[in-house]
Amino acid sequence: MIVVHHLENSRSQRVLWMLEELGLDYRIERYERDRKTMLAPPELKRVHPLGKSPVIEDTDGAGTHVIAETGAIVEYLVEKADGRLGAPARRDDALRYRFWLHYAEGSMMPPLLLKLVLGRIPLMGKPAMKRIQPMIDVHLDYVESELARRPWFGGADLTAADVMMSFPLEAARSRAGLDASRPATIAWLDKVHARPAYQAALARGGPYAYA
């Protein structure tokens, strides 16, 4: 049984969606953020030294595996599910899949997170935010151009790359300028949110502010 240490309004929502898509059994340990700092509670440090979410625990014949970092968790689940939602068979699609799998956190999330942090700093943050949005727009334009060419990030079918990209694009829609001016991206998000597995993950994970 997989235990998901799930922090409200966080990247761990993707893990729940992934598990629902794969049909794997799991149990949720839910945590709430500190209402003043919006940080994860100290209880998470009992699970992993970093004290962050997502973290999963998976117990099998070899013992209990504690895995942190969304990308690492997603790759672990693909392997556990015998390759489902993993790299497509076509070489070009497989390379594209691998790129988006890492791009989500490696390239797109940093400026989004920076904008969130600066938005909470009075006076000094506002001027700096004006320089961050053009950086985000470069990413949003790139994503739009790619989704205008194909239905999913890895090609013709849903993959773990789409799972990884859901959180940064939800964050961009919530606070970083993603709107109807980029119709292919909005259509992709709407398609994701309509999936039964995504809806099931929301039902099990509790309220989610869509990043």
10-residue mean pLDDT profile of the chain (211 residues): values are 92 96 96 84 92 93 92 97 97 98 97 84 71 94 98 97 97 94 98 97 90 52
Same domain, 75 and 112: no
Q: From its phi and psi, is residue 3 left (phi > 0), alpha (psi between -120 and 50) or beta?
A: beta
pLDDT of 211 reads: 52
Number of domains observed in the structure of the chain: 2
CATH number, position 144: 1.20.1050.10
pLDDT of 12 reads: 93
pLDDT of 123 reads: 65
pLDDT of 176 reads: 93
pLDDT of 75 reads: 98
Q: Is residue 64 part of a domain?
A: yes
Query: Among all chains, which residue has been given the structure tokens 């999913």?
Result: 152
Same domain, 44 and 11: yes
C-alpha to C-alpha distance for 55 and 68, rounded to whole angstroms:
4
Same domain, 15 and 36: yes
CATH number, position 79: 3.40.30.10
pLDDT of 125 reads: 64
pLDDT of 58 reads: 96
Residues 6 or more apart from 147 whose CB is under 8 A from it? Answer: 153, 184, 185, 187, 188
Same domain, 111 and 39: no
**Range of 97's domain?**
91-195
Same domain, 40 and 125: no
Instruction: Please give the full DSSP string across 9-59, using - where no structure is assigned.
Output: TSTHHHHHHHHHHHT--EEEEEE---TTT-PPPGGGGGT-TT--S-EEEEE
